[in-house]
A and B are shown apart, each in its own frame.
Chain A
Amino acid sequence: MSAGTIEPTTGAPETLPATRWIEGTPSLHRITTDISRPMEARPGRGWWICFAISSLAVLNLLGMVTYLFAKGIGIWGLNNAVGWAFDITNFVFWIGIGHAGTLISAILLLFRQKWRTSINRSAEAMTIFAVMCAGLFPLIHMGRPWDAFFIFPYFPNQRGPLWVNFRSPLVWDVFAISTYFTISLVFWYLGMIPDLATLRDRATTGIKKLVFRVLSLGWNGSQRTWSRYEIVSLVLAALATPLVLSVHSIVSTDFATSLVPGWHTTIFPPYFVAGAIYSGFGMVLTLLIITRQTMHLERYITTNHLEAMAKVILLTGSLVGYAYATEFFNAWYSGNVHERFHFINRATGPYAWCFYLMVLCNVLTPQIFWWKRARRNIPVLFVASILINVGMWFERFVIIVVGLHRNFLPSAWGMFYPTVFDVGILVGVFGLFFTLFLLFIRALPMIAMWEVKGVSHG
C-alpha cells in the first residue's frame, strides 16, 4: 500500500508541506452543514437525470429476470460447450468492484491513512451495492432458481443426512460472499452511527428524527463509548482486511480448482485480488468524480484524494499486467498441449479482440498515471476509470468464455454469442447499482463527518 502512503517517509516534514486532505479549515459546524447539504437540499437536475436513466435500467432488469425465470436460461446464449458466460462474468466483475470499499476503510485505517476519511463511507456503500449486484447472479444463473436454497446446509430438512458438498468452490463462494456482505454492512453501519446521531439532532421533522433516532441507537458521543468504538473499528478493520483478500481468492478458486485450460492456474488468487482492487478503485474514482461535482464536495474530496487513488490504480494495474504475462509464460513453460493451445487461441482465436481490448484497458491505460499531471487531471482520471471498468469486465469474459469454448475434445468445441437478454441484464445490473448509489447519497451522509472533523481539528 506504499502508493497510498502520502506522508513523506523521507525528507524533513517542514521542507515538504504535508498534503492537505481538506481545503482550508472549516469549522466543525461548517463540516456538518456541508456534508448534510446533499440530504437536506433538493437534488439538482444532474441527480435527477442520472436517477431517471438508472431506474429505467432497473425496470428493464426486472422485466428480463422475470422472463428468465419464466422461460429458463435457454434465453441466454449459453450452450453445451460454454456453460458460463455473461452471468458469471458479471458476478466476478461486481465482486471485484466490491473490493475497494472495505479495502479503503479497513486497510487504510490500519495504515492510519488520513486520506481515507473523505472517501471511505461512499466506498463502503459502493462495496455493499456491488456485492448486492454480484449476489444476484449466482441466483439467476441457476437452472432452477426456485431450488437455490439447496445450496445452504440447513436443518431441519426432509432429506436426512444429505448436506452440501464442502469441496465445491461454489459453496465456498456462498460462505465467503455472505460473510463479506455481512461484515461490510456492519462495518459501514457502525461507522455511520455517530453521523446518524448528528443527523438526528439536526432533524427537524418528526418522522426524520424518529428514523434517525432508531438508527443511531441512542448515540450521545460519550467519550467512554468513543474509546470502545475506536477499538471495535480497529478490530473490524483487522478482520475485514484478510477477509477482502480471501473473498476474491475464493472466487478465483471457482476457476483455479477446475481443470479447464486457462482456469487451472495457481496464480489466480493474487491475480484476482489485484484485479479486484484495481477495478474497485476504478469504480470509486468514477463515482467520486461524479458526486464531488454534482454534490459540490470538492473541499472534502480533493484532487489529492483522486491522485492517491490513481497511484493505487497504477500499482494494481501493473500487477494485473504482470499476471497476464505470467499466464502466457506458464502455459509455454508447462509444455501442456491443452494449456498451450488455450493461450494461442486466446491471442489468435475468435475472441482475440476481447483479449486485446482487455490488455489495452487494463495494462496500458493505467501507465499514464506515471505522470503527476495525468493523476491530477479530472477528465483523464474519469476516462481512465471508465476504461478500467470495461477492461476488467472483459478480463473475466476472456478467462471464462475462451477457457470453455475450445478445450479438451475438439469435437465438442463451440462458440458463445450473447443474446439480447445477456446484454439487457448486464445493463440492468449497472442500473441497479447506480440507482442504489444515487439513493444513498441523498439519504445518508456520504462522507464520514466525525472522521473529517477528527482529521481537520484532531
Chain B
Amino acid sequence: MAERFLVGSFGEPEGLLAAVSTLRDAGVAIHDVFAPYPVHGLDQAMGIRRSRLPWITLLAGLGGLCFALAFQYYTAVFDWPLDVGGKPENSTLAFVPICFELTVLIGGLGTVGAFLLRARLFPGKREQLPVLGVTNNVFALVTPLQGEGNEAELARQIMLENGADEVEERETES
C-alpha cells in the first residue's frame, strides 16, 4: 500500500536546519532530509547516530592481513621451500609489503561494499526523489503523514514558518 509523506522544499540550508529542530521539538517524526551536499549539523538535528562502518573496515583489514601472511608463509615455507638466494624460507620482513597492501585493499573494498549494501545503492536502482532538484539546489524535508491531520498541519506550519518555498503531499509509488 502506498505511504503518504509531507515534503517541504527549502532553498537554503539554514531554514531547513531550523525546521528540522523545531519539528523534532514538536515531536513530529522526520522521515528523512534530502540535500545536494551534506549539510553540517543536520545529523545532530535529526539525531542520526554515527555510522558503525569503521568497524567493518577494521575487520576486513584484519582479514586481509591474516590472509596475506598465511598465504605467503604457506607458499614460501610449506608448499615448496625453494632456496632463493640463500635467504631463510620464512623471510617475514619481505612479506610485510604485501601484507600491508592486502590489508588496505580488502579493508577499503569491504568498507565500500558494506556502505553500498547498507545504503541500498546498486547499479540500475531507480532513484526516489521527494522533489526534483534535491541533487541540484533544493533541500527537501520529508515527514510521514499519519492518520490524524493536525500533526500534518503542524508540520506544514513549521516548514512554512522556517522559509520553505513549498510544501506538498506526496505518495510513494509502489
Residues of A within 8 A of B (CB): 27-29, 32, 153, 161-167, 171-172, 175-176, 178-179, 182-183, 186, 190, 193-194, 197-198, 200-202, 213-232, 235-236, 239-240, 242-243, 246, 250, 253, 449-451, 453-454, 457-458
Contacts and interface: CB of A to CB of B under 8 A. Distances in A.
19 contacts: A28-B136, A166-B98, A167-B84, A167-B94, A172-B101, A182-B108, A214-B124, A218-B126, A222-B32, A225-B119, A227-B38, A228-B115, A232-B53, A232-B115, A239-B57, A239-B61, A239-B104, A239-B107, A450-B37
Contacts of A153: 71, 75
Interface stretch (B21-29, B127-135, B162-170): B127-135
Contact of A223 (B42, B97, B123): B42
A392 B76 CA distance: 37
Contacts of A235: 53-54, 57, 108, 111
Given A218-B121, A218-B126, A220-B134, A453 B32 contact: no
Contact of B37 (A201, A217, A458): A458
Interface stretch (B1-9, B43-51, B145-153): B43-51
Nearest to A182: B105
Sort A-B residue pairs by CB-CB distance and give the 3 closest, nearest first. A218-B125, A28-B137, A217-B121
B34 A221 contact: yes
Interface of B: 12-13, 32-40, 42-43, 46, 48, 50-51, 53-54, 57, 61, 71-72, 75-76, 79-80, 84-85, 87, 91, 94-95, 97-98, 100-102, 104-105, 107-109, 111-112, 115-116, 118-129, 132-137
Contact of B95 (A166, A216, A220): A166
A166 B126 CA distance: 45
A180 B46 CA distance: 37
Given A162-B80, A179-B102, A250-B97, A223 B127 contact: no
B79 A163 contact: yes
Nearest to B52: A231
Contact of A228 (B53, B57, B124, B136): B53
B5 to A, nearest CB: 13
A85 B8 CA distance: 64
A161 B128 CA distance: 53
Contact of B75 (A163, A201, A226): A163
Contacts of B135: 194, 197-198, 200-201, 219-221
Contacts of B111: 232, 235-236
Contact of B97 (A164, A176, A224): A176
Nearest to B41: A458
Nearest to B134: A221
B39 A458 contact: yes
A172 B97 contact: yes
Contact of B121 (A193, A213, A243, A453): A193
A223 B48 contact: yes
A98 to B, nearest CB: 15
Given A175-B102, A239-B57, 7 more contacts: A166-B76, A167-B84, A182-B108, A214-B123, A228-B51, A232-B51, A243-B101
Contact of A216 (B48, B85, B100, B127): B127
B112 to A, nearest CB: 5
A232 B98 contact: no
Given A29-B136, A236-B108, A221 B35 contact: yes
A405 to B, nearest CB: 24
A105 B37 CA distance: 17
Contacts of A227: 38, 43, 48, 50-51
Contact of A218 (B53, B108, B115, B122): B122
A237 to B, nearest CB: 10
Contacts of A166: 72, 75-76, 91, 94-95, 98
A161 B85 CA distance: 19
A404 to B, nearest CB: 20
Contacts of A197: 127, 135
Contacts of A202: 136
A246 B39 contact: no
B136 A175 contact: no
Given A219-B127, A231-B50, A246 B101 contact: yes
Contacts of A219: 121, 127, 135
B136 A32 contact: yes
Contacts of B87: 167
